[in-house]
Amino acid sequence: MKTSLKRIILVLLFALISFGNINSQDIPYTILISFDGFRWDYTNRGITPNFDYIEQHGVKALSLKPSFPTITFPNHISIVTGMYPQNHGVIANTMYDPATDKLYSLRDTAEVRDAYWYKGEMIWETARRQGIITASYFWPGSEMNLEYRRPTYYEKYEHERNYLERINGVINWLKLPYNERPKFITLYYDLTDSEGHRYGPNSQQVNNAIARLDSLIGVLFNRLDEIKLRDSVNLIIVSDHGMTEISGARYVNVEELASCRSCKFFNRGAVMNIFIKNKIEVDAVFNKLKQNESHYRVYKPEDIPEHFHFSNNHLIGDLFVLADPGWSVGTSKDKDRMSDYYGGNHGFDNSFMDMHGIFYAIGPSFKENYTTGTIENINIYPLLCKIMNIIPRQNIDGKLENISFILKDKE
């Protein structure tokens, strides 16, 4: 009896492994590229021939609506988890956890790699559990210190890594023996974000960045042609958020208005999280900021507008401040860094169109010459699951039916 049971278990395990291998062979390759800070209308400037090609032969959305707040790490994680920041846990680039007294910062490598902060399951985790090989040439969350939560292959982030070297890395993965090749790959570039912050979205420097990133698409197409895989690859190009003009003349010193010794202020620019050690002061500080409310809004977490999906997380703080588009909030120390408040910024209300990014897709899974309206970034995770024929997590906020219409109809 025991022998028969063992045989049944072995047969079932073999069937599952075989199914995983067959499933992996049937799906196309997919490369997900992020152009950080690439605003939704940057491709309307007449300097992006490769984007124009994708629009003619693939899918273009009017815009990609980011999750709130419109900040880099929260939105990259939303794209690959299908969850709002309040649910996947990465609510800002800098986060203070009062429960542990831990501080997360995108410049702190140890914290960025600490799995403690990442509550959502990322697409490479979902795929890996179901037998799909994955890879990441940079993406927030891809370097976690738990091996089983990382992509099969990954590169540790280097901000100055040569742009063409990144493409070479992707191509080298696709040249691996068939059974070792990743079916899903991420690729990341910061250029439009960096130049947008420094010079503003309407600058010549940003135009140069747009043209350079567009040229990289052409390089990738050519390299895929060289290895004879272009027709087998889905290319999805997104951005985490847009960019808008700011000015040092549009600045509010929230710390000065709050006049609170037990307050800790985290983040600046478009948003600010305030933690108040002496809880009996919360109402008093809130009232002070409310009375002076001009060019910003102050909220208790439970009163943050429902459409932001940003109220149910202890990392938000005791009070949350949101600047009006184009304005900045900060502290007294920030007065010494006023040069940071010229150029461009993001983080504002995600309904503000300047905060919207791009969504382009081309390849065997996608319709051709198809344009659609605005897509929400939380719907990309279930789309990727559909393309890879894997089962998505059930606790996500995204919905496949809100994006599946861009896929080719099955014949």
Which residue numbers are catalytic?
72
How many beta carbons lie within 10 A of that of residue 129, not counting itself? 13
Tokens 């799909």 locate to 132
Give the C-alpha separation, 338 to 253, whole Å: 11
Residue 149 near residue 81, CB atoms below 8 Å = no
Best CA proximity match to 351, nearest among 286, 395, 291, 305: 305
Give the C-alpha separation, 265 to 277, whole Å: 11
Residue 121 near residue 394, CB atoms below 8 Å = no
Crossing angle between the packed helical segments 380-388 and 72-81, to the nearest 10 degrees: 40
Q: What number of H helices and E strands is found in the chain?
A: 12, 20
Residue 322: HSE in the Cβ half-sphere, 13 Å Cα cutoff: 22
- Strand segments, DSSP code E, in 244-318 are 244-246, 251-253, 263-266, 271-276, 296-299
Tokens 């570039």 locate to 189
Rg (CA), the chain: 22
* The pair of three-digit structure tokens given for residue 236, joined into one six-digit string: 């999805």
Q: Angle at CA 53, nearest 5°, toward 229 and 376?
A: 90
Q: Is 232 exposed, middle or buried (0-12, 13-18, 19+ CB in 10 A)?
A: middle
How many beta carbons lie within 10 A of that of residue 261, not counting itself? 9
3-state class (DSSP) for residue 213: helix
